[in-house]
Amino acid sequence: MDLSFFSRLLSRLPLRMPRTQGGRIALSLAFVYIVWGSTYLGVHVALESFPPLLLSGLRNLFAGIGLFIFAAQRRPQWPTLLEIRNAGLVGTMLVAMSSGMLAVGMRTVGTGMAAVMVATVPLFATVIAAVAGRPIGKGEWGAVALGLVGIAVLNHGDTSAASAGGSLAILVGALFWAGGAHLAGRLRMPSDLFVSTSLQVGLGGAVSTIIAWVLDERMMDLRFGSAVAFGYLVLIGTMGAYVAYGYLIRHTSPIIASSCMYVNPIVAVALGAVTLGEPVTRWTVIATLLILLSVGLSFWFDRRRAPG
């Protein structure tokens, strides 16, 4: 894969792109770990001026257009109408529904708590796989149950309607992400990574923007901090991170690519505590450990199932 996007992004910094595939994998992992962990803070700040669905829509629409421009300059193999349709379907689930519901939930849920709840994606993936007909062992169901216990602990002592509604929205978003990832592995997608990513992100963002327009969402007074956060979400949190994640999907195992589920919540909790003063209670710590343990167990059982 051509990493010209990262080369251009880092061309003005005193850094050199790794020449080996192992080095590029390590860089992509570090990038996804830190950046996607920090996007929760970015969304929190951007929501001061942007309504949630419009934020998700415009962020991904602009990022999709930017990625498509990069893709066009590389003269890739262009997708068929079927591949475009499939990319739009996956993008609707990953972006319009998942990212949109996350933004809705984060109006009332803290950044750290939101990141921990999104870590339940592998658990939803297990349930979806079971519905699709894959045999699920007792250990895997135990991991799912442990994750549900972690969610219950995470919401311990907070029974407000707003928090409950926000938590539900984030969990629904995690479910849509798992469903979109499930479809992405089974539908015929564009062969070029940049084209595939740009179509998923851009079309999903367009759907979210249309939904926001239908629901009459309107911009509030644009603050400087929100504008900076929006720019960061578009350029780094979406364009850069999605390409890095796509590189991991194509060059590593699903276990390694999904390992960001371990690290992102830790980064988000730390940033929320340091920059926003979000409390890190013992319940938050216990719930985080339970959910990450459940995710780790689900990865372990999945690896045992893999042939060879």
Is the distance from CB of 37 to CB of 271 less than 8 angstroms?
A: yes
Q: How far is CA 16 from CA 8, 71, 195, 203, 262, in A?
A: 11, 22, 25, 33, 27
Query: In angstroms, what is the C-alpha Rg of the chain?
Result: 19
- Per the structure block, which two tokens stand in for 75? 């003269």
Q: Could you give the CA distance from residue 265 to residue 278 in angstroms, rounded to a whole number?
A: 14
pLDDT in tens, the chain (308 residues): 444 444 554 444 444 567 777 788 888 888 998 999 999 999 999 999 999 999 999 999 999 999 999 888 878 889 999 999 999 999 999 888 998 999 999 988 888 888 888 888 877 888 888 888 777 778 878 888 888 888 778 766 555 555 778 889 999 999 998 888 888 878 898 888 888 889 999 999 999 999 999 999 988 888 999 999 999 999 999 988 888 887 787 777 666 677 777 788 888 888 988 898 888 788 878 888 888 888 788 777 766 766 55
**CB-count burial class (<10 Å; 0-12, 13-18, 19+) for 159:** exposed
What is the tens place of the pLDDT at every residue in 130-162?
888 777 778 878 888 888 888 778 766 555 555
Phi/psi for 2 (5° steps) reads: -85, 120
Task: Name the helix (H) or strand (E) containing 161.
Answer: helix 161-184
Q: What is the residue whose two structure tokens read 């707003």?
A: 162
DSSP label at residue 94: I
What is this structure's pTM?
Answer: 0.81
Compute how many other C-beta atoms are within 10 angstroms of the C-beta atom of residue 18: 14
Q: Could you give the CA distance from residue 133 to residue 141 in angstroms, rounded to a whole number?
A: 15
Is the distance from CB of 111 to CB of 268 less than 8 angstroms?
A: yes
What is the tens place of the pLDDT at every residue in 25-37?
888 888 998 999 9
Is the distance from CB of 177 to CB of 120 less than 8 angstroms?
A: no
Helix, strand and coil in the chain, % to nearest 5: 75, 0, 25
Cα dihedral sign for 294, 298, 304, 308?
negative
Would you kindly state where each structural domain of the chain is located, as residue ranges?
22-305
